Structure 1
Amino acid sequence: MAESRVPEAFARIREEFLAVPQPDRLQLLLEFSRELPELPERYASQPGLLERVEECQSPVRAFSEVDADGIVHFYASAPPEAPTTRGFAAILAEGLEGLTADEVLALPDDYPFTIGLTEAVSPLRLRGMTGMLERTKRQVREQVGA
């Protein structure tokens, strides 16, 4: 993965995971799960506006929007009983916040596999995070007309 293509927040998150021993990485992911931001009212009151992430085993819905200044905002909902999925959504929410559409589109698709969780969680769960990232990029492309 080209380091220059990983935005600062995502690089910091990866470093945070890789800095802890393998057995503790799942605990760090669970800590992230508690940090998933609440949905803005417009999405909380109309969850159908969020797209279902089919790759996730849990009922996860997410949406990325590009504001008038070209900044991407990521919103997701995942049930508390799905902490791994919530953790992945929280990582994306934190990493994507404040990025431009071009920065989001340049994020390597394999990012979820680079944060040291391949031994801590199943490939199916990592596929869920990859699915969230793929949807984010597609939604951003649709909004910027790329």
Structure 2
Amino acid sequence: MSDMPPKLAEIVEEFASAPREVVLEMLLEFSDTVPPLPAEYAGHEGMEQVPECQTQFFLRAEIRPDATVATYFDCPPEAPTTRAFAGILAEGLAGATATEILAVPDDLYARMGLAQAISPLRIRGGTAILARLKRQISDQLS
């Protein structure tokens, strides 16, 4: 799993090796780890909505001067699976550089084994979140 940041690779491995019945519990735990939005993003000013998600989901990626990326996510608590995607990315990408994040495989959620635990529609939403995050980073690099 060297094609992704170490923290994210560890999370992917934990999910991939977990029994199916534990995966949903793990997702719920990650849904509680989404950091609160900074005040400047209240009202989602400067954030991008991800329309592929069934619920309202907003994100923002900012490349810092040290080349690491700050990620910001907002999703209602009543959407725990979608919030779990945000929690996984927030924790897994913390401290990662733009280059490391751009190298994260697009089939991240399949590698985690989530297709056996959640609906294809939710997987599509999670994949769209990652794609938009990577696109924002690419746009800032160009």
Task: Specify the TM-score bucket, using the shorter chain as the normaliser.
Answer: over 0.9
Q: Does 1:128 align with 2:95?
A: no
Using structure 2 for the length normalisation, give the TM-score.
0.95
Shift of 1:19: 3.2
Aligned to 2:113: 116
Q: Matched residues in 2 for 1:103 and 1:110: separation? A: 15
Q: Matched residues in 2 for 1:109 and 1:20: separation? A: 21
Q: Matched residues in 2 for 1:121 and 1:98: separation? A: 28
5+ residue gaps in structure 1? none
Matches within 5 A, 1:52-131: 52-131=49-128
Percent of aligned pairs with the same amino acid: 49
8 A Cα contact 1:26 1:117, kept in partner:
no
Q: Matched residues in 2 for 1:75 and 1:127: separation? A: 20
Aligned to 2:31: 33
5+ residue gaps in structure 2? none
Equivalent residue for 1:5, pick from 3, 6, 24: 3
Q: Matched residues in 1 for 2:101 and 2:41: separation? A: 21
Shift of 1:70: 1.1
Q: Does 1:139 align with 2:130?
A: no
8 A Cα contact 2:61 2:72, kept in partner:
yes
Shift of 1:24: 1.3
Question: What RMSD in Å do the two structures reach over aligned CA positions?
Answer: 1.0
Aligned to 2:16: 18
Aligned residues: 142
8 A Cα contact 1:7 1:103, kept in partner:
yes
Using structure 1 for the length normalisation, give the TM-score.
0.93
Shift of 1:27: 1.1
The Cα offsets for residues 82-127 of structure 1, whole Å up to 9 and x where unpaired, read as 0000001110111111111111111111112111111110011011
Query: 4+ residue stretches of structure 1 with deviation over 2 A?
Result: none
